[in-house]
Chains A and B, each alone.
Chain A
Amino acid sequence: MGLNLKPTEIPSPFINKPAPDFSAPKLQTPEEKLTPADLKGQVWLFNVWASWCVSCRAEHPVLNQLAQQHAAVIVGLNYKDEPNDAKNWLDTLGNPYNVSIMDQDGRIGIDYGVYGVPETFVIDKKGLIRYKHTGPVTAEDVQQTFLPLIAKLQAEP
């Protein structure tokens, strides 16, 4: 406790609570909307990203690699971004997301308690948030935390 804590890591009040609801337009096909209900029965990662976010650039190759393993559905929350900038970013750096949704005014971000991009939530088949990671996910985090947790959640009914 105390000196070993990182003040930038604020404990999330969301653990084991239902993922807050939203209905948001998809980045690639804005006429279609996505809600958390569409993902019921699947383990999914909810990764908050933006083309203006410097740490997201560091995280991106890690997500690309994670996506190739098809361990879980990866949903992107494109946070306070310009759709064209966001699409360019995915075209240039690769698209690890099964789908990205747009949160241009940051309201979904507030509902998820987002305060520092990138952030990543792990949501189970019942729609409960089981883990939250603040800051860029590293290859080490994937091996030590994300993959074991995803395997555990996939085994749950």
Chain B
Amino acid sequence: MKCLLFIFLLMMSCGGYAVDTYQLSDPKQQESYETLTKELRCLVCQNQTIADSNAELAGDLRRQVYEMLQQGKSREEIVQFMTDRYGDFVLYKPAFKGKTSVLWIAPVVFLLLGLITVFFFIRRKNAVANLHSDADALKIDIEKHKKIRSLLEKGDPS
């Protein structure tokens, strides 16, 4: 029970709530603000976006996004500003390029490897099962033959 309570408390502590959400007058900019802050990583907490985190740095980066949107900067310009300073790691969804290609391609490669393995595994299993049933059939045949022969030898009583 104590253990459960402890785990529950640990789970509670994971929910960080960002307090200072900025409001932009233009609803389109507000939308950009909300998507951008959900795509940028809080580098202190690493597994949270800057929208989720209440770390000081996340707050500063939210302010930065807000100010740049107010200055009329585009999404691309803001993402460029962040990656120039913090590298690709700041993006929750990394861009597809040489350095990050392994990240994107590896899951597909592993899935294909898995499917190929499963395919061959099932094929082999089927082949073995067929072999077994052939052997069973053969066994029955031999037994039948024996029975027929013994019946013939004895002669049909009817």
Interface residues of A (CB under 8 A from B): 7-8, 10-13, 80, 105-107, 109-116
Contacts and interface: CB of A to CB of B under 8 A. Distances in A.
A10 B60 contact: no
B151 interface: no
A8 B86 CA distance: 12
Interface of B: 43-44, 46, 56-57, 60-61, 64, 83-87, 89
A106 B60 contact: yes
Nearest to A109: B60
Does more than half of chain B's interface fall in helix, strand or loop, or is it mixed? helix
Contacts of A11: 87, 89
Contacts of B86: 10, 13, 113, 115
Contact of B85 (A7, A105, A112, A116): A112
B82 to A, nearest CB: 9
Contacts of A10: 43, 86-87, 89
Nearest to B84: A13
Does more than half of chain A's interface fall in helix, strand or loop, or is it mixed? loop
Given A80-B56, A115-B43, A12 B87 contact: yes
Nearest to B86: A113
Which one of A8, A107, A111, A113 has the highest number of Cβ atoms from chain B below 10 Å of its Cβ?
A: A113
A13 B61 contact: no
A13 B85 contact: yes
A115 B44 contact: yes
A99 to B, nearest CB: 24
21 contacts: A8-B46, A10-B43, A10-B86, A11-B89, A12-B87, A13-B84, A13-B85, A13-B87, A80-B56, A106-B56, A109-B57, A109-B60, A110-B85, A111-B85, A112-B85, A113-B85, A113-B86, A115-B57, A115-B86, A116-B43, A116-B44
**Interchain residue pairs A-B with the least CB separation, the first 7:** A115-B43, A113-B85, A13-B87, A106-B60, A10-B89, A113-B86, A11-B87
Contacts of B64: 110
